[in-house]
Amino acid sequence: MNIRRAVLRGLMLWLIFSLVGIGIVAVPDSGGAVFRLSQGHGPSPWDLLGIAMLLLGWVLFLVPLIRARALWPVPGLVLGGFLAGLAIVVWSVLSDTGSWWILGASLSAGVQLVAAIAVAAGRGPTLRGIRPQRK
């Protein structure tokens, strides 16, 4: 499979699994938290199912995106933006700082989307370093 097609397929799967996962997490639940991340945060069993769907979709997208890393427009910026967003999410959840996690999640998702669009559109560097895919 062509690497660009694999990234697009991963992007579509990420979107589908994310919508399902967000839908599950958004459903009000009355169960207690399975474990506590902080004073105000802890996932219920239903939330864990939604989180698993979100993570599965992300992995299905991340694997082909990493394989195409030679095509990223600015690899250091993509990685730095992703890690900065992840750090903001972790800090926000563990310290109960309200809605800051939205900024971190948006930053992480945004740089991944920009990288995926650049790969799919063929706007990254040359194919140097990418092994040809068997058909």
The C-alpha atoms of residue 87 and residue 105 are separated, in whole angstroms, by 10
Query: pTM for the full model?
Result: 0.68
Q: Can you list the residues of the chain whose pLDDT is less than 50?
A: 126-129, 132
Phi, psi of 45 (to 5 degrees): -55, -40
**Which amino acid is it at 5?**
R
**For tokens 């699994």, what's the residue?**
17
The C-alpha atoms of residue 57 and residue 59 are separated, in whole angstroms, by 6
pLDDT (0 to 100) of residue 127: 47
pLDDT (0 to 100) of residue 128: 47
pLDDT (0 to 100) of residue 87: 93
The C-alpha atoms of residue 96 and residue 110 are separated, in whole angstroms, by 23
pLDDT (0 to 100) of residue 69: 78
The C-alpha atoms of residue 102 and residue 110 are separated, in whole angstroms, by 12
Nearest residue to 92 via CA among 101, 105, 79:
101
Quick check: 45 and 99 in contact, CB under 8 A? no
